[in-house]
A and B are shown apart, each in its own frame.
Chain A
Amino acid sequence: MKFAVVVFPGSNCDHDAHYAAEQVLGQQAEYIWHKETSLKGADVVILPGGFAHGDYLRTGAIARFSPVMEEVRRFASAGGPVLGICNGFQVLLEAGLLPGAMLRNRSLKYQCEHVIVKVEQTDTPFTNACRPGQLLRIPIAHGEGNYYAEPDMVAQLERRRQIVFRYTSAEGTATDASNPNGSVANIAGLCNEQRNVVGLMPHPERACELALGSADGLIMFESAVRFVADGARRDYSGTAAAR
């Protein structure tokens, strides 16, 4: 199977994602320059971390208009699995492929540390190999990861089980102290209603080998491989209401 890693001018985690897919997992991976208009037959699309277009104006605000995004939108609406990591998550928010927006971290600091995130939902292409409630130790590195949505939207996200990851303590409790950026409801990552588009601020691609301090992120890539290998492209879109 093939991973496409989109490269915007200013992306800087594209190589990490490519490495995780190709070197660690042994899958095919291809860079897709943001001006391209084809995803070249990829099975999974990754929007990597970095500072696309310098993060000018707002994070992800200009990247959303890159030509490749039309193709990403088409791929996503056809049920294709899309993962936005950090800046890639911000791009998905600006593009409207995921709901909500990012604010400056409440600390006003660029937060760069390992955090604990809890897997709240396992019926997504990027968490299906996880145990419900599994805790992952993954690094974050961002200045604007303070997730915001109106209270009604947050309630809807809860109801539709779209909150995929939450920042928690080592015991798995979502406390204020374990929230590194002020995100509403400790949200670290979420999915769309169809569950095939997932975005998160932590960097699973930087936690795929023990030499990097943690290999907890690998399970997200393994989930994607499993999702695609299942052939019929498991459709999770009907599961939200079912539970």
Chain B
Amino acid sequence: MRARVFVTLKPSVFDPQGKTVTDALHTLGYAAVRDVRQGKYFELDIDARRADDARALAEEAAHKLLSNPVIESYRIEIVDEVVA
């Protein structure tokens, strides 16, 4: 199983990197871009038979290590890649 974990700063937290990227895009003429939030993306290859098990493990990893709950939130997608 593969878990995709997206970690992003909470909406209330200022993102200096995202702001800089926004400014750069505006400089390039992409005036339609209103805002950019920069985050982190992880792919976890998990030895699990059931999607629920993979998700539970990814949840635990995301909460304990991959994100800092004080400033970040996360979203998890499980990709069912059955290994023959």
Contacts and interface: CB of A to CB of B under 8 A. Distances in A.
Interface of A: 57-58, 61-62, 65, 93-94, 99-101, 103-108, 146, 148-150, 182
B12 A103 contact: no
Contact of B17 (A57, A61, A65, A104): A104
B14 A106 contact: yes
A144 to B, nearest CB: 10
Interface of B: 9, 12-17, 20, 65-66, 68, 70-71
A148 B16 contact: no
Given A57-B66, A61-B65, A100-B70, A150 B12 contact: yes
A182 B16 contact: yes
Given A57-B65, A61-B65, A108 B70 contact: no
Contact of B70 (A62, A65, A105, A148): A148
B16 A106 contact: yes
A144 B9 CA distance: 15
Given A57-B65, A149-B70, 15 more contacts: A62-B65, A65-B65, A93-B70, A101-B68, A101-B71, A103-B13, A103-B14, A103-B16, A103-B71, A105-B16, A107-B16, A108-B17, A146-B16, A148-B14, A182-B14
B16 A108 contact: yes
Contacts of B17: 104, 108
12 contacts: A57-B65, A65-B65, A93-B70, A103-B9, A103-B14, A103-B15, A106-B14, A108-B20, A146-B16, A148-B13, A150-B12, A182-B14
Contacts of B65: 57, 61-62, 65
A104 B16 contact: yes
A241 B27 CA distance: 52
Contact of B68 (A61, A62, A99, A108): A61
B72 to A, nearest CB: 8
A178 B73 CA distance: 31
B36 to A, nearest CB: 14
